[in-house]
Amino acid sequence: RCPRNQCGRVFLANYSQSLNGVFQLRYLEPRQHEEPPLPDLLKENFSDFCKIYKQAIIADEMNLKEIAGMGLRKSLEFLIKDFVIKKLKNDNAGEEKINEVKKLFLGTCIEKYISDSTIKRRAKRAVWLGNDETHFFKKWPEKDLTDLKNLIEITISSIEAQLLDEKYQKEMKEPR
């Protein structure tokens, strides 16, 4: 049991003994995972994305690299499509448009519905690398999971910036 009062978790430790008799810690089970830091605004608006993204990051931490990339790609799709759907609802778009977004390929959705050039540029590249993680042939073999995570993170920051901008535009329409 962890001796820290705020923790107190039960765990198993696996040690190996070297030839000189010294024991070395090999690993602990079950592993504890920190929740990836995500802006509150995203947690409030895109809970499906946050759930999938968290699982993908945990898979990466567990060295499950082959499925972590697919999870990151899926999380990106949920983030982008939910972002687009949120904007369409705010613009009072009909259910038909929203259903169209749900069915579109992610790249087509970005091209057709994302107007902010920064979000579009970043999200498109994240999709390219995310697709590499799900397909047999890699188009970007020199890029890896770190690059995909970086692109998703900067896409997140762009979306957060736009949401914050919209929030303050609504709250502060005129100077006082």
Q: What is the pLDDT along the chain (176 residues), one digit of tens a residue?
A: 888 888 888 888 899 998 899 999 988 887 777 788 899 999 999 999 999 999 999 999 888 999 999 999 999 999 999 999 999 999 999 899 999 999 999 999 999 999 999 999 999 999 999 999 999 999 999 999 999 999 999 999 999 999 999 999 999 999 98
| Beta-bridge mates of residue 23 | 17
108: CB partners within 8 A, 6+ apart: none
Local structure of 163: helix, strand or coil: helix
Cβ atoms of 110 and 123 within 8 Å: the answer is yes
> Cβ(105)–Cβ(123) under 8 Å?
no
Query: E strands along the chain, which residues?
Result: 12-17, 23-29
The position carrying tokens 């962890």 is 2
Residue 32 is which amino acid?
Answer: Q
Q: What is the pLDDT of residue 80?
A: 98
The whole-angstrom distance between residue 87's C-alpha and the CA centroid of its chain comes to 20
Residue 6, pLDDT score: 86
pLDDT for the residue 75? 98
Count of beta carbons in the 10 Å neighbourhood of residue 70: 14
**What are the two backbone dihedrals, phi and then psi, of residue 3, each rounded to the nearest 5 degrees?**
-75, -10
Residue 1 has a pLDDT of 84
Give the per-residue pLDDT at 11: 85
